[in-house]
């Protein structure tokens, strides 16, 4: 199905199933512990051995020699894999570093060996007996130091021109009110509940991998490329994923080493990365140093805005695109956005929930508050005054939908913003200083080709199969809702099969594109199946109605089961998107509000309540969408107040590489969260008229918290996370 013109009225608009707050159909399996996650697939293949990865003990250098004698003699050891024994390996197009080191070491905890043993404990014990002789080389681990002297570019790549609109320098110099400030965000870990895990089994020259991966088709292709085998010989299965947040978008060492270990051992091998390896062996959100300049007239109209961001990655890597939202969020005739990319010898920086916008808005939305204060304006009024309904760089290109003002206004009313004191440090509740903060949220809408296969059996059951994944987001349910809506059956008459590369290729879970694109692919397959049903019955497909498990046309009505017949019916199709995303600027918007208490004597910060108001197209399932947003708000709170991968700048690794040292929020940290979805449909986005919301929920949260802390204390902190030592000496004196 080609999607080249805005969607008109279609079966989704019935809203009999779509749009209803529906419990997750996979919920019973998850709550009873029967949902099969990768490491727990004891049922799929017998005689599984255990693998344990030995990670590099240096960040940069070479392996002189590896002594395996003691490890080979250890109890239970079946096989050992190193670069010397693995054979020729390729490197995935989406991997920055090799997944098996040798002889060069590119980052700390890069895999250097794999021990395969009968039990996990035996494999771990033997791994400790591997002796590696390294030649350590000088590494680059300090972002601020490495950014010095690197020129600004448009996209972080050498030679790309800085993105300019108008004459920023002249307009900024002429502006009567200006801001020039620098903000920093640290490296962040995905810290998902389920570790990276895989089970690999060979059948001759064919490989099956049960794994935890967000993008099945990507994983299959990258694994085949790395191993040097045809992708037709690889099957990837990942029906349930215990969190990913971008950390499982790409092929990682657990998958490759499991495959190599299984080949060496001649039997299936399972691997789960130890928690410390998740920080240093896999990917993370890169740290940023951001400079923001804003110039405005005295009545609050932005005339000049510039956002520069610097980040780092391994050689051949890419930048954290923290300037993206600044190109589109606010008006202003004169604009400049640019990036710097330093080469660092730290583990690979890559996508983490809302890459670009999440750290970018942590800076931009503090700057907007600082500018509002300079102007003597309410922060919401300042944002509204600089709204734009068109792409500021291309005024003839309109937003398909843009309800940022409505988000801010509804949020202000619901949150009780009118009670906020404009002057900081004015509100006390006993020993607590109380403040409110606001920030705008923004995330672009992305669509991707997505396919599905839908069938009806003689019992009237509808089965959907697609390689789309569910990373805890409710994908099973919204796909079932889509099929139920289009085929006119109850939800309990739909079976959903996900996460298998033998199914049609979908968008996958990432970039906030998954829900809208994958359900649109299911819609396309269902519409094709409806045509087959109508054709079999001799009905006019343009007039046919599917409802209540029946197919009707005029005075004729046939049970869907009877229409399918004993042999059943099936159809496969894909949604292919045209250039509507280029004709219209498709984006999602939010307003985030936060109230905090800061202890007047100790500086302890407590979030009291949070509110998100989101405009993100049609909400397919308000219940699971709310879950997505409150989860994202919680991650945003962690980024604002506690999360930071501490870099050892001597030896080049993340020190706090487990959940004891890398703190994430718990229930007690966030007592009350509220989410409001504005009524919106976007016919330019897909037949579903939906967009993504899972990443929008984190965009702006950190700044809303930072702004609330400033409102409570009068102490402005521009370096995340906002920990008490950064403002303790600036707290108001206790009376």
In angstroms, how far is CA 224 from the centroid of its own chain?
25
Q: Is there a contact between 678 and 574 (Cβ–Cβ < 8 Å)?
A: no
Q: φ and ψ at 608, to 5 degrees?
A: -100, -45
Q: What SS3 state is found at 487? A: helix
- Interstrand relation of 111-117 and 163-165 (parallel, antiparallel or unpaired): unpaired
CA angle (684, 688, 694) in 5-degree steps: 95
Q: Peptide bond before 336: cis, by omega within 30 degrees of 0?
A: no
Instruction: Establish whether the linkage from the previous residue to 715 is cis, with ω within 30° of 0.
Output: no
SS3 615: strand
Strands (DSSP E) found in 407-523 = 428-429, 432-444, 450-456, 462-465, 494-497
| Residue 580 CB-density burial (10 A; 0-12 exposed, 13-18 middle, 19+ buried) | buried
What angle, 0 to 180 degrees and rounded to 10, lies between the N-to-C axes of helices 622-641 and 701-713? 50
Angle between helices 475-487 and 514-537 (to 10 degrees): 30
Residue 514, classed as helix, strand or coil, is helix
- Give the phi and the psi of residue 480 in degrees, each rounded to 5: -65, -40
> Which residue is catalytic, options 106, 644, 695, 725?
695
Query: What is the residue-wise DSSP string for 543-611?
Result: T-EEETTEEEETTEEEEHHHHHTTT-EEEEEEEEE-SHHHHSB-EEEEEEEEEEEEETTT--EEEEEEE
- As given in the structure block, the two tokens for residue 294 are 């804003």
CA angle 154, 400, 160 (to 5 degrees): 10
Q: Please confirm, yes or no, whether 485 is among the known catalytic residues.
A: no
d(CA 610, CA 665): 14
- Side-chain half-sphere exposure of 412, counting CA atoms within 13 A: 16
Active-site annotation, residues = 695
């Amino acid at each position: 199905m080609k999607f080249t013109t805005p969607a008109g009225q279609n079966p989704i608009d019935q809203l009999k199933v779509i749009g209803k707050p529906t419990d997750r159909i996979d919920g019973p399996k998850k709550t009873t512990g029967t949902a099969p996650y990768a490491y727990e697939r004891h049922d799929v293949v017998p005689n599984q051995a255990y693998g344990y990865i030995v990670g590099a003990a240096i960040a940069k250098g070479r392996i002189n020699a590896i002594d395996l004698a003691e490890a080979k003699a250890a109890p239970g050891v079946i096989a050992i894999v190193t670069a010397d024994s693995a054979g020729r390996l390729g490197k995935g197009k989406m991997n920055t570093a090799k997944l098996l080191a040798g002889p060069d070491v590119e980052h700390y905890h890069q895999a250097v060996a794999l021990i395969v043993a009968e039990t996990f404990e035996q494999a771990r014990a033997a791994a400790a007996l591997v002796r590696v002789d390294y030649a350590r080389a000088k590494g680059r681990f300090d972002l601020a130091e490495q950014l010095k002297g690197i020129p600004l570019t448009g996209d972080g790549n050498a030679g790309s021109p800085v993105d300019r609109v108008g004459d920023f320098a002249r307009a900024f110099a002429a502006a009567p009110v200006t801001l020039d400030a620098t903000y920093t965000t640290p490296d962040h870990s995905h810290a998902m509940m389920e570790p990276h895990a895989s089970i690999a089994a060979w059948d001759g020259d064919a490989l099956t991998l049960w794994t935890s991966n967000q993008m099945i088709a990507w994983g299959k292709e990258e694994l085949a490329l790395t191993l040097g085998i045809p992708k037709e010989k690889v099957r990837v299965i990942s029906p349930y994923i215990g969190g990913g947040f971008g950390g499982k978008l790409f092929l990682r060492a657990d998958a490759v080493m499991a495959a190599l270990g299984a080949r060496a051992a001649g039997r299936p091998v399972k691997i789960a990365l130890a928690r410390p390896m998740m920080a240093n062996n896999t990917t993370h959100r890169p740290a940023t140093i951001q400079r923001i300049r804003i110039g405005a007239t005295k009545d609050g109209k932005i005339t000049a805005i510039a956002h520069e961001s610097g980040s780092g990655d391994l050689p051949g890597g890419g930048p954290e695109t923290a300037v993206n939202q600044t190109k589109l969020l606010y008006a202003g005739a004169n604009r400049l956005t640019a990036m710097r990319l330093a080469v660092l010898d730290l583990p690979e920086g890559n996508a983490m929930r809302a890459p670009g916008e999440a750290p970018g808005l942590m800076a931009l939305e503090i700057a907007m508050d600082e500018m509002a204060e300079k102007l003597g304006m309410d922060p919401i009024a300042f944002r509204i005054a600089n709204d734009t309904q068109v792409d500021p760089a291309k005024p003839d290109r309109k937003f398909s939908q843009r309800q940022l003002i409505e988000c801010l206004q509804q949020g202000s009313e619901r949150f009780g913003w009118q009670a906020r004191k404009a002057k900081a440090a004015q509100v006390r509740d006993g020993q607590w200083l109380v403040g409110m903060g606001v920030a705008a949220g923004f995330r672009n809408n992305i669509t991707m080709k997505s396919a599905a296969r839908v069938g009806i059996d003689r019992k009237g059951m509808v089965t959907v199969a697609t390689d789309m994944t569910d990373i805890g987001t409710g994908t099973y349910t919204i796909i079932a809702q889509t099929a139920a809506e289009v085929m006119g059956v109850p939800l309990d008459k739909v079976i959903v099969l996900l996460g298998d590369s033998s199914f049609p290729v979908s968008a996958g879970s990432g970039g906030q594109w998954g829900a809208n694109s994958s359900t649109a692919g299911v819609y396309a397959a269902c519409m094709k199946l409806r045509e087959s049903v109508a054709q079999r019955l001799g009905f006019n497909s343009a007039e046919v109605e599917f409802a209540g498990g029946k197919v009707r046309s005029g005075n004729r009505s046939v049970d869907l089961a009877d229409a399918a017949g004993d042999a059943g019916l099936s159809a496969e199709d894909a949604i292919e998107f045209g250039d509507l995303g280029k004709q219209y600027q498709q984006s999602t918007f939010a307003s985030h509000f936060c109230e905090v208490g800061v202890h007047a004597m100790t500086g302890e910060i407590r979030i009291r309540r949070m509110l998100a108001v989101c405009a993100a197209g049609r909400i397919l399932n308000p219940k699971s969408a709310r879950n997505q947003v409150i989860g994202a708000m919680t991650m945003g709170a962690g980024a604002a107040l506690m999360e930071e991968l501490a870099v050892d700048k001597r030896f080049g690794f993340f020190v706090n590489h487990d959940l004891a040292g890398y703190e994430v929020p718990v229930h007690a940290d966030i007592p009350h969260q509220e989410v409001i979805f504005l009524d919106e449909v976007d016919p330019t986005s897909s037949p579903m008229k939906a967009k993504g919301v899972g990443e929008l929920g984190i965009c702006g949260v950190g700044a809303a918290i930072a702004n609330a802390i400033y409102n409570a204390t009068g102490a402005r902190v521009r370096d995340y996370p906002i920990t008490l030592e950064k403002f303790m000496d600036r707290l108001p004196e206790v009376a």
